[in-house]
Amino acid sequence: MRVSGVVIGRGFHWEQKRDLTYSGTMILRRTHTSSVLINAIKAEEYLKSVISSEMNVGAPLEYLKAHAIISRSWLMRIISATEPRMSEHISEPGRVLSYTQSDRHRLYDVCCDDHCQRYQGISAINSRVDDAVALTRGLVLTDADGRIADARFSKCCGGHTELFSTAWHDTDYSYLPAQEDPWCNPAILTDSERVALRHCLKDYDCDTDYYRWHVHVPASLIERNLREIYGQSIGSITTLEAEERGPSGRIRVLRVHGTDGVVTIGKELAIRRLLSESHLYSSAFTVTPTQDGFELHGRGWGHGVGLCQTGAALMAIRGHSAADILNFYYPVTNITSLYD
Ligand SMILES: [Zn+2]
Ligand SMILES: [Zn+2]
What are the tens digits of pLDDT across the range 90-133?
A: 888 889 888 877 666 778 888 888 778 889 899 889 999 999 99
Write down the H helix ranges in 249-303: 268-274
pLDDT digits (tens, 9 = 90+) for 148-197: 999 999 999 999 999 999 999 899 999 999 999 999 999 999 999 999 99
Residue 69 · residue 326 · CB < 8 Å? yes
* Tally of CB atoms within 10 A around 148: 22
User: Residue 145 Cα, ligand 2 centroid: separation in angstroms?
Assistant: 27
> Which residues are within 8 A (CB) of 203 and not within 5 positions of it... i.e. 6 or more apart?
none
DSSP string, 38-62: EEE--HHHHHHHHHHHHS-TTS-HH
- If pLDDT is split at 50, 70 and 90, which confidence band does 73 have? very high
User: Residue 233 Cα, ligand 1 centroid: separation in angstroms?
Assistant: 31
User: Residue 117 Cα, ligand 1 centroid: separation in angstroms?
Assistant: 7
Whose atoms come closest to the Cα of 303: which ligand? 2
Amino acid at 170: D
What does each C-alpha distance from 189 to 198, 232, 280, 310, 313 come to in angstroms? 12, 45, 26, 12, 12
pLDDT digits (tens, 9 = 90+) for 221-262: 999 999 999 999 999 999 999 999 999 999 999 999 999 999
Positive or negative CA dihedral for 142, 143, 146, 148?
Answer: negative
User: Residue 310 Cα, ligand 2 centroid: separation in angstroms?
Assistant: 6
Residue percentage of the chain with pLDDT more than 70? 95
Whose atoms come closest to the Cα of 110: which ligand? 1
User: Residue 298 Cα, ligand 2 centroid: separation in angstroms?
Assistant: 14
Q: How far apart are CA 236 and CA 319, in angstroms?
A: 53
User: Residue 249 Cα, ligand 2 centroid: separation in angstroms?
Assistant: 13
Whose atoms come closest to the Cα of 306: which ligand? 2
* Per-residue burial over 96-125, b = 16 or more CB atoms within 10 Å of its CB, e = otherwise: bebbebbeeeeebebbbbbebbbbbbbebb
User: Residue 105 Cα, ligand 1 centroid: separation in angstroms?
Assistant: 7
User: Residue 109 Cα, ligand 1 centroid: separation in angstroms?
Assistant: 8
Predicted local confidence at residue 207, as pLDDT: 57
> Which residues are within 8 A (CB) of 119 and not within 5 positions of it... i.e. 6 or more apart?
46, 49, 50, 53, 110, 111, 112, 113
Residue 145 · residue 332 · CB < 8 Å? no
User: Residue 238 Cα, ligand 1 centroid: separation in angstroms?
Assistant: 36
Whether this model's pTM surpasses 0.95: no
In angstroms, the first-to-last Cα distance of the chain is 35
* Tally of CB atoms within 10 A around 215: 16
Predicted local confidence at residue 55, as pLDDT: 84
User: Residue 21 Cα, ligand 1 centroid: separation in angstroms?
Assistant: 19
